[in-house]
Structure 1
Amino acid sequence: MGIFGGTISNLERGLDFSAAKQKTIAQNIANVDTPNYKTKSVNFNKFLATAKKNTISTHRTEEKHMNFSMQTSASGVYDYKNFRYSNNGNGVDMDKEQANLATNQLYYNALVDRVSGKLNTLQTVIKGGSR
């Protein structure tokens, strides 16, 4: 367990999820006019399960060294194969994608704010409580 009881690593997983979701939404928006393109989405549960499987633990040579693990890239992306939004077979609903984009941006900003708060707390502790 880390300095904050795993909080930073959980926030990091949330940021990874948000980045994957942002990439997927951007891909959907970029392909709004592509015939037969099917909307893609990111499932948080699948993303988290994949992230847990892809953890690489490190070897500590000294007990005083901090224990940490590295995440390899996780994928929880899936597409809607049978969904058709327009006559050309495209499955992208632009209004929905823009709403998803705004929601994901708020989620990402909240996570970044929490990480910043945790790091500021750590900085205060290191400096001895004085600013």
Structure 2
Amino acid sequence: MLESYHLQILERSLDAATLRHRTIANNIANIDTPQFKSSQVVFEELLQQELSGVGGQQKLEAYRTHAQHIAFGNAGSLPMPQIVSNQNNVMQNNGNDVDFESEMNLHARNQIWYNGLTQFTAGHFQKLKNVIQGGGK
């Protein structure tokens, strides 16, 4: 139960949210740096591709409750979050493409997303705790 794909996805999603926070902070810190090109983190799209599979084929292995159960689905690896340079951004006179309002909007969205992930993860462990303690007796 501790090694489930759900928990691995949550862990990787939290990593992506943390990396996104650092990337946004770096973009804001360099708002006045001439020729600075902002970056963004790509993860959710990669995860969606992995979960849905290419050509409709599921890549992740199905969860089995017993080792002798028949396995189905192909075991895939979860994608790593990637930092990519923003393309097609409108540049300022100094060649910098950081938009403060856009970065703050992304920061707020990422903070809400991160908080939701942490609550979901805490709920996962609370359920495990209840099971271990015998259903909360």
Structure 1: how far apart are the matches of 2:136 and 2:89? 58
Structure 2 residue 129 is matched with structure 1 residue 110: no
Tell me by how many angstroms 1:129 deviates. Answer: 1.3
Provide the identity percentage.
35
Match of 1:119 in 2: 125
What's the TM-score, normalizing by structure 2?
0.69
Structure 1 runs of 4+ aligned residues shifted over 4 Å read 46-49
Cα pair 1:39 1:92 within 8 Å, conserved: yes
Instruction: Show CA shifts across 1:33-84 (max 9, x none).
Output: 10110010111245889xxxxxxxxxxxxx9xxxxxxx9xx45111136634
Q: Please give the secondary structure, in 2, of the residue aligned with 1:86.
A: coil
Tell me by how many angstroms 1:6 deviates. Answer: 1.8
Instruction: Show CA shifts across 1:81-111 (max 9, x none).
Output: 6634311111100000000000000000000
1:36-47 to 2 correspondence within 5 Å? Answer: 36-44=35-43, 45=45
Structure 1: how far apart are the matches of 2:36 and 2:48? 26
AA matched with 2:106: N
- Provide closer, same or farther for how the CA distance between residues 106 and 33 of structure 1 changes in structure 2, counting only shifts above 3 A: same
- Provide closer, same or farther for how the CA distance between residues 47 and 129 of structure 1 changes in structure 2, counting only shifts above 3 A: closer
Match of 1:87 among 70, 93, 108: 93
What's the TM-score, normalizing by structure 1?
0.72
Structure 2: how far apart are the matches of 1:96 and 1:78? 16
Count of residue pairs the alignment pairs up: 111
Q: Please give the secondary structure, in 1, of the residue aligned with 2:40.
A: strand
- Provide closer, same or farther for how the CA distance between residues 48 and 28 of structure 1 changes in structure 2, counting only shifts above 3 A: farther
Structure 1: how far apart are the matches of 2:116 and 2:26? 23
Match of 2:11 in 1: 12
CA RMSD of aligned residues (A): 2.8
Structure 1: how far apart are the matches of 2:25 and 2:132? 40
Structure 1: how far apart are the matches of 2:11 and 2:48? 12
1:10-89 to 2 correspondence within 5 Å? Answer: 10-44=9-43, 45=45, 74-80=80-86, 83-89=89-95
